[in-house]
Each structure stands twice: as C-alpha cells, then as structure tokens.
Amino acid sequence: MRPPMSKPSRAPLADARALGTPTSEPVQSGPPGLGRRARPRRIIAVGGGKGGIGKSMVSANLGVALAQSGLNVLLVDADLGGANLHTCLGVGQPEATLSDFLRRNKARLEDVIVPTGVPRLSLIAGAQDALDAANLKYAQKQKLLKTLLGAQADYLILDLGAGTSFNTIDFFIMADHGLLVVLPEPTSVENAYRFAKAAFFRRLQQMEAEYGIGDLVDSALTTREGSLRTLHDVLEQVRRKDPVGAERLERELAAFRIRLVVNQARTDADLNVGTAVASAWKKFFGIDMDDLGAIRYDDEAWRAVRKRRPVLIERPDSPAALAIQRIASRLLAIDGTPIPATP
C-alpha cells in the first residue's frame, strides 16, 4: 500500500521540504541508508498557544481517526512540560518516554514507541519526571527534530504544549499541517494569533540567513506586540533590497499554511469563528489560513476523557467524534490521499 500511495503524494512534501528550513535540511541529507520512504509522509503539529483548549484531545482523536482510516500513525507528545497524551489514549504510565530517548543515548526512537491499543496507532509519550523536561536544550531539540523527521509512519502527529516558546514553535513550523486549535473565546483567540505570528516570524528568522534579512526580522521580532510589524512590512523591505528574493520568500511563507480547528463551539455562531478568524488573518496579513471545521462542545468528549479513552472510540457517534472525523478526512483530502478501504 505504501509505495504506490506515497509516490503521488511525495511531490508536495518534497516541495515543502525544499523550502529549506534549516530543521529539515539535515534530514534531507540524512543518513544514506535512510531513504525518503523512511520519513513520515505527513507531519501534523497541533498547537494553539493557550493551555486547556483541547490540543491533546484533538491530537489523540485525530490520530485515532487517521489510524482508523487505514494509515500508520505515530503520535508524539511534544508537550514537554505537561505530557498527558498517553492519558488521553488510556495508555497509563508509559514505560518509555521521550526523555529516555533524549537523555540516554542508548535509545533509538523505535525503543520508546509504545502501542496504544488502537491498530496502527502508536505513541511516543512525553517526558515524565525529569525536572527540566520542559527545557529542551538546543542540541536535544535538533536531535529530536531530526529523528522525528526520520520516523516511519504515514502520519506523524505532534501534540505541542501551550505557549510560544521556540521549543514549541519549531515543532510547529516543521509540520506540513500546522493545526491551530482555538476556542471561541477572546483569551484563546488572542493566544492563537500570537502563536501564529510567532510561528511566521520564527520561520522568517530561519530563512533570514538565506535572504539576508536578519536585521529586518530581528527588528520585527523585537517590536512591541501592539505595533508588531506585519509580514507585509518585512516583505516590502526585502523587496526593496532583493525583489527576487522577496518573491521566493513570499511563496515560501504562503506555502506554510496554518489550519484552524475551533474546539468547544457551543453556539452556531461559534461554528463560524474559524472562518472569521481565517478571514481576518488574511485581511490583515495577507496569509491564507484554512478553517478545518469546528468541534462542538460535547459532554461526551468530557466523559471520554474522564474514562481516559478517546471519544472516537468511546462514542464514535457523538458530535465531537463526528467532527474530528470530518477534520481527518479534510486533511486527507488536502493531502490528496484516498482513504484506503483496507489497511
């Protein structure tokens, strides 16, 4: 199943990689034995800036949905300081975690992968006890990023933590799909915008060497939030210096697409918040955001968490579960992957 399918879908991914973010570079020229096929076909990062908005719930259930549609899915709990994805999946305290991999050099990534009980869905649990688990060092982060890019799966889902630390953002922007979870409330929207801005500027920063726009990006980043220079401004300045470079830069920025998931929508109006946010974002920053759809507020989801089971398995017919399935199939549609009939 894999080879034929991965052929056609290869192209866009290659494009994305070719964007030349430093993080992806090393992998491209990675170990000789590691062919392209060894890499996950798609990386989905689930972030959102604010805590408690359902990132882990979305990640877990999305993983289940994708696994149920016949794909091999690897969930990674990249919420370094507050790992709990395993609980969402009912895995219990995992024996091996990410910190085993990061800290003890003995471990290969494969060694810390634990099964979840859902076919084709496996998990790398987050670091548990280490006091400084959240403070990933740069070298560790690079190692992790590289290794994750080399992981074998159809889909790699990264469950990110709250906040906009580089440790979070860097995982977010290396993904093919940056899922931005947002609740229809000001606090969450505010953080989501900040997260998205941070992601774009971080990406700019990573590209700055290439375009000689380092100082521009720096000044943009150090500006106060209120007067945060927009990407328009940055692009404009780059264009003045280097029209061709600006052209490419613009393309590359546009290629990085944030996809919105509105969680816990309680009213019909809430269902449209995603569209509104995407359109406001585009209006002011000129960058497209996709609205993947909303997940209704659902007591079933809450009950499922209490039971430590993904709602998709616990109550597959609940509104929340259906919404997640819709989101999963939209992602698959975007990737142009026909849902396999059989695993």
Residues that bind other proteins (CB under 8 A): 184-186, 189-190, 193-194, 226-227, 230-232, 235, 250, 254, 273, 276-277, 279-281, 283-284, 286-287
> Closer to other proteins at the Cβ: 123 or 260?
260
| CA separation for the pair 127, 79 (Å, rounded) | 8
Eight-state DSSP code of residue 36: G
Q: What are the structure tokens assigned to 39, written together?
A: 């890499």
What are the angstrom distances between the C-alpha of 268 and each of 166, 271, 300?
35, 5, 19
Chain-centre distance for alpha carbon 196: 12
Least separation in angstroms between CB 276 and other proteins: 4
Q: What are the structure tokens assigned to 104, written together?
A: 């003890």
Least separation in angstroms between CB 46 and other proteins: 21
Least separation in angstroms between CB 251 and other proteins: 10
Would you call 295 helix, strand, or coil by DSSP?
strand
> Closer to other proteins at the Cβ: 84 or 279?
279
Least separation in angstroms between CB 165 and other proteins: 19
Residue entry with tokens 């449209």: 272
> Closer to other proteins at the Cβ: 132 or 190?
190
Least separation in angstroms between CB 286 and other proteins: 4
> Closer to other proteins at the Cβ: 73 or 192?
192
> Closer to other proteins at the Cβ: 235 or 292?
235
